[in-house]
């Protein structure tokens, strides 16, 4: 079905506001009498606080309050940005205090100061005297799980947070029926989101004594709930406002600074207090991507059909649970869709360590597991002397497959077409042949890797989304959604959907980008690549409701039955031939001012999506490896996605560009480094943390295979996170093809590559 607005690269609704500086972010707002909050951080990775003396800090002129674990509510709360669950066993682990009485990583918040300005606050921090009892710093999962290791959290034996996995089919039989069983080990590093805008918020009590928090978050409604939990106050007593946000990538799908910010304003009688993290702070005390270690076994027939898969995983969650075991679970769950084997066993363990806290980050466990498995598959293909593409093609999922555990059904699948397209873009066959027998100091190779993902979280969590539309006198509308625009372009996509349904030019849909929990419809937020798919359903539903009400109203005005009418190009028209009945504006005006039937048209919708659509895709990459220096140069890279129908091709391309560049950093250069003994982060700044610059980013080729998923509004599936999943294994496989050296640990930075090449005798 042809659409007039959906599928077009319309201009971002916030483009002008953002490029002219009119878009306001949290830091752009200012309250009268605003104070500044600063956090004192533990210098020890693992230490009990014996005593705190704040008297000198408190006495410093300009200091308004000093907070410690003794002065703030002592209620343990969870921080993960998941919807609340009525089932207590399904809730996130509550292991965090606003200020801790036991430091669990270097940088843990042990006290805080509220002062008239930053300099005074920082001076005051230095005057706080704390006596610690230092405990052993457990900086690796192995150390943490060791018999007799001190417990980071008293209630978790061996420091294991959780180890729930899954198993189906008879794996032993699957392996014994296999012609080959291959094994491999793979490892990924912790990385950081590095969104442009650091965590920032300000909080105050309003005239009614309600707590107001303005914050840079992906999840305003969840922030409201968790602040309520942390302070032990009614959730309705908290109002959270989310202005424009400068990126999140999952790091703001977590509640980090808001409870402390709230405690700060309460400590000064409700005066506004601003709390802003520096880059150095944000890199240690927000969230990171979980580092994983994998052990994999795959049983195959001699023609390459996978019989059984065994994956053991150790996930390092750091000092607090945050999203905790959900990362390992989700990665294992989303992996299952791509190569459904008759038997599979997944044994993940999520372990606490005395390192910065790992949480949600774009891809949510899938970049890790797909790096491991897609690397593993390339080694298998190599051993079977089979083209890596052919091996995958023999095992791809088919439409109609129902996942045994989630019960999600594959209703659309374009992975084969994605691979075919990518293969052609990179000229796979030609280059595989050309680069077969290389020697010399510069060697080239092509590699590829695939992925599957999900659209939202069903059936793991609820998928409620809200949308509200008000039609104005001129036929234009305001759209409010509970889902948050954080740079990904969702507001624009929603505007397109409403414009499509109501026959409006997209400029006549005004999206209210700010979420305010007092005003905005309920939605759990921006995560899980759920916007276009999940919130899209609510938006379409709201627009259709307004349309139905409008046509009904016109029926009343004209005696023309509503079902024969339609909306096109700002007109009410006959559905069958497009003949104009009246301009939209005339009808809209009547809805406001008709002396008898006047009643402005609105809709206020909520949608609980109990479906999930599985997106797929592939990365193809060509590299040149400098054998002597260990440097890997990306010459070409293509991501081809099946994300259902693409609502806005230009914005979708932007998503892919961002994701691929993030994937390249993950593959080649990024890693947070810690001192193994002390647990101190070594490179929590953007000089020493090697986020690629635009100069390091090659031209990124983007392709879409547009399937139409029947469950999504307009046939959409998720696209937000998927682009980051497969670049790292594709690059690793390209290096493998170029050099024959298997780099099974991320990142493949020059130092590490040098060591491996030396081992392999290439240097």
Partner 1 sequence: MYDIQGYIEAESVSDAVALLASNPRLKIIAGGTDVLIKLRHGQMEGAELLSIRKIKELERIEQLADGTIVIGALATFAQIFHEPIIHNNIPALAEAAVSMGGPQIRNVATIGGNICNGATSADSASTLFALDARLRLRSSAGERVVPVQEFYLGPGKVDLKPDEMLSEFLISPAGFRGFGGHYIKFAMRKAMDIATLGVSVMCKISGDVFREVKIGLGVAGPTPLRCVEAEEFAKGKAIYAETLAGIGRLAVKSTNARTSWRASREYREHLVEELTQRALHVAIVRAGGAEIG
Is 629 among the residues that bind partner 1 (CB under 8 A)? yes
Binders of partner 1: how many residues, by CB under 8 A? 26
Q: Which of 15, 59, 70, 119 binds partner 1 (CB under 8 A)?
A: 119
Q: Which of 55, 682, 759, 760 binds partner 1 (CB under 8 A)?
A: 682
> Measured from the CB atom, is 582 or 673 closer to partner 1?
673
> Measured from the CB atom, is 264 or 449 closer to partner 1?
264
> Measured from the CB atom, is 381 or 748 closer to partner 1?
748
> Measured from the CB atom, is 41 or 69 closer to partner 1?
41
Q: Choose the binding region for partner 1 from 309-317, 542-550, 687-695, 708-716 (rule: CB under 8 A).
A: 687-695
Distance CA 77, CA 456 (A): 24
Beta carbons within 8 Å of 345's beta carbon, 6+ residues apart = 165, 166, 167, 171, 309, 310, 311
> Measured from the CB atom, is 571 or 749 closer to partner 1?
749
Three-class SS state of 144? helix
Is 624 among the residues that bind partner 1 (CB under 8 A)? no
φ/ψ bin of 569: left (φ > 0), alpha (ψ from -120 to 50), beta (otherwise): left
Of residues 645 through 674, those in contact with partner 1 by CB under 8 A are 669, 673
Q: Choose the binding region for partner 1 from 224-232, 605-613, 678-686, 737-745 (rule: CB under 8 A).
A: 678-686
Q: Which of 1, 196, 596, 687 binds partner 1 (CB under 8 A)?
A: 687
Of residues 431 through 490, those in contact with partner 1 by CB under 8 A are none
Burial of 26 (0-12, 13-18, 19+ CB in 10 A): buried
In degrees and rounded to multiples of 5, residue 700 shows phi and psi of: -110, 120
> Measured from the CB atom, is 662 or 725 closer to partner 1?
662
Is 683 among the residues that bind partner 1 (CB under 8 A)? yes
CB of 691: closest distance to partner 1 in angstroms?
8
Is 749 among the residues that bind partner 1 (CB under 8 A)? yes
Burial of 559 (0-12, 13-18, 19+ CB in 10 A): exposed
> Measured from the CB atom, is 151 or 686 closer to partner 1?
686
Three-class SS state of 478? strand
Is 608 among the residues that bind partner 1 (CB under 8 A)? no
Beta carbons within 8 Å of 45's beta carbon, 6+ residues apart = 103, 104, 105, 106, 137, 138, 139, 354, 355, 678, 679, 680
CB of 36: closest distance to partner 1 in angstroms?
9
Of residues 693 through 722, those in contact with partner 1 by CB under 8 A are 693-696
Q: Which of 233, 690, 698, 745 binds partner 1 (CB under 8 A)?
A: 690
Is 29 among the residues that bind partner 1 (CB under 8 A)? no
Beta carbons within 8 Å of 695's beta carbon, 6+ residues apart = none
Q: Choose the binding region for partner 1 from 352-360, 502-510, 521-529, 690-698 (rule: CB under 8 A).
A: 690-698
Is 681 among the residues that bind partner 1 (CB under 8 A)? no
DSSP tag of 535: I
Q: Choose the binding region for partner 1 from 112-120, 364-372, 458-466, 474-482 (rule: CB under 8 A).
A: 112-120
DSSP 694-739: GGGPPPEEEEE-----TTSGGGB---SSGGGTSHHHHHHHHHHHHH
> Measured from the CB atom, is 86 or 695 closer to partner 1?
695
Q: Choose the binding region for partner 1 from 113-121, 472-480, 493-501, 727-735 (rule: CB under 8 A).
A: 113-121
Is 684 among the residues that bind partner 1 (CB under 8 A)? no
Please state, in angstroms and as integers, the Cα–Cα distance from residue 723 to each residue in 345, 384, 489, 658, following that order.
Answer: 27, 29, 15, 8
Count the helices and strands in the chain (H runs, E runs): 19, 30
Is 520 among the residues that bind partner 1 (CB under 8 A)? no
Cβ neighbour number for residue 520 with a 10 Å cutoff:
23
Is 759 among the residues that bind partner 1 (CB under 8 A)? no
Residue whose entry in the numeric block shows the structure tokens 């994999």: 296
Sign, CA torsion 16/193/533/478:
negative
Is 117 among the residues that bind partner 1 (CB under 8 A)? yes
Beta carbons within 8 Å of 436's beta carbon, 6+ residues apart = none
Q: Choose the binding region for partner 1 from 67-75, 385-393, 645-653, 692-700 (rule: CB under 8 A).
A: 692-700
Q: For residue 122, how many C-alpha atoms fall within 13 Å in the half-sphere facing its CB?
A: 6
Binding residues for partner 1, rule: CB under 8 A, are 117-119, 122, 628-630, 669, 673, 682-683, 686-688, 690, 692-696, 749-751, 754-755, 763
């Amino acid at each position: 079905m042809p659409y007039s607005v959906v599928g077009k690269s319309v201009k971002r609704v916030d483009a002008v506001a953002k490029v002219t500086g009119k878009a306001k972010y949290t830091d752009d707002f200012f309250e009268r009498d605003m104070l500044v909050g600063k956090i004192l951080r533990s210098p020890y990775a693992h230490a009990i606080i014996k005593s705190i003396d704040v008297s000198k800090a408190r006495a410093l002129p300009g200091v308004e309050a000093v907070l410690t674990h003794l002065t703030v509510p002592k209620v343990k709360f969870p921080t993960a940005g998941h919807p609340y669950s009525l089932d207590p066993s399904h809730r996130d682990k509550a292991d965090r205090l606003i200020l801790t009485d036991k430091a669990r990583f270097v940088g843990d918040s042990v006290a805080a100061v509220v002062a008239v300005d930053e300099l005074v606050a920082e001076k005051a921090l230095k005057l706080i005297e704390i006596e610690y009892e230092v405990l052993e710093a457990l900086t690796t999962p192995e150390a943490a799980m060791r018999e007799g290791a001190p417990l980071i959290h008293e209630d978790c034996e061996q420091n294991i947070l959780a180890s729930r996995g899954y198993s189906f089919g008879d794996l032993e039989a699957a392996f014994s029926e296999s012609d080959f069983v291959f094994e491999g080990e793979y490892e990924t590093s912790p990385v950081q989101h590095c969104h442009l805008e650091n965590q920032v918020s300000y909080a105050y009590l309003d005239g009614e004594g309600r707590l107001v928090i303005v914050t840079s978050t992906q999840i305003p409604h969840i922030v409201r709930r968790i602040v309520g939990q942390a302070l032990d106050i009614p959730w309705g007593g908290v109002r959270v406002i989310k202005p424009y946000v400068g990126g999140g990538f999952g790091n703001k799908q977590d509640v980090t600074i808001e409870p402390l910010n709230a405690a700060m304003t309460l400590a000064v009688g409700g005066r506004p207090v601003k709390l802003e993290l520096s880059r150095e702070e944000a890199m240690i005390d927000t969230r990171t991507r979980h580092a994983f270690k994998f052990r994999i076994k795959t049983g195959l027939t001699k023609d390459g059909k996978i019989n059984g898969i065994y994956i053991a995983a150790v996930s390092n969650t750091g000092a607090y649970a945050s999203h905790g075991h959900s990362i390992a679970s989700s990665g294992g769950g989303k992996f299952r869709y791509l190569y459904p084997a008759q038997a599979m066993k997944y044994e993940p363990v999520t372990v606490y360590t005395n390192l910065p806290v790992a949480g949600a980050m774009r891809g949510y466990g899938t970049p890790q597991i797909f790096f491991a498995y897609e690397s593993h598959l390339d080694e298998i293909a190599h051993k079977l002397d089979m083209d890596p593409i052919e091996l995958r093609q023999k095992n791809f999922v088919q439409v109609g497959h129902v996942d045994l555990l989630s019960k999600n059904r594959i209703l659309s699948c374009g992975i084969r077409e994605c691979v075919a397209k990518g293969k052609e873009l990179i000229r796979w066959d030609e280059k595989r042949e050309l680069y077969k027998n290389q020697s010399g100091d510069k060697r080239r190779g092509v590699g590829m890797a695939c992925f599957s993902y999900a659209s939202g979280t069903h059936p793991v969590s609820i998928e409620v989304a809200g949308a509200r539309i008000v039609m104005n006198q001129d036929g234009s509308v305001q759209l409010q959604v509970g889902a948050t625009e954080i740079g990904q372009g969702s507001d624009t996509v929603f505007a397109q959907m409403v414009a499509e349904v109501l026959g409006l030019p997209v400029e006549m849909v005004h999206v209210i980008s700010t979420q305010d929990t007092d005003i905005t419809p309920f939605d759990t937020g921006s995560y899980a690549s759920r916007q276009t798919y999940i919130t899209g359903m609510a938006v379409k539903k709201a627009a259709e409701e307004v349309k139905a009400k409008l046509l009904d109203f016109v029926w009343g005005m004209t005696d023309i039955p509503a079902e024969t009418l339609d909306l096109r190009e700002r007109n009410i028209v006959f559905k069958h031939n497009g003949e104009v009945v009246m301009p939209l504006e005339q009808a809209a005006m009547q809805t406001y001012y008709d002396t008898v039937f006047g009643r402005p048209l609105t809709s206020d919708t909520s949608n609980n999506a109990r479906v999930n659509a599985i997106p797929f895709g592939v990365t193809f990459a060509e590299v040149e490896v400098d054998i002597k220096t260990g440097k890997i140069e990306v010459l070409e890279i293509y991501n081809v996605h099946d994300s259902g129908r693409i609502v806005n091709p230009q914005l979708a391309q932007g998503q892919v560009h961002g994701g691929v560049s993030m994937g390249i950093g993950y593959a080649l250069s990024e890693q947070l480094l810690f001192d193994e003994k002390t647990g101190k982060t070594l490179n929590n700044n953007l000089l020493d943390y090697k986020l690629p610059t635009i100069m390091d980013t090659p031209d990124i080729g983007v392709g879409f295979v547009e399937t139409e998923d029947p469950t999504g509004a307009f046939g959409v599936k998720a696209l937000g996170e998927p682009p980051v999943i497969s670049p790292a294994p594709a690059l690793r496989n390209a290096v493998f093809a170029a050099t024959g050296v298997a780099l099974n640990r991320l990142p493949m930075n020059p130092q590490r590559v040098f060591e491996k090449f030396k081992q392999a005798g290439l240097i």
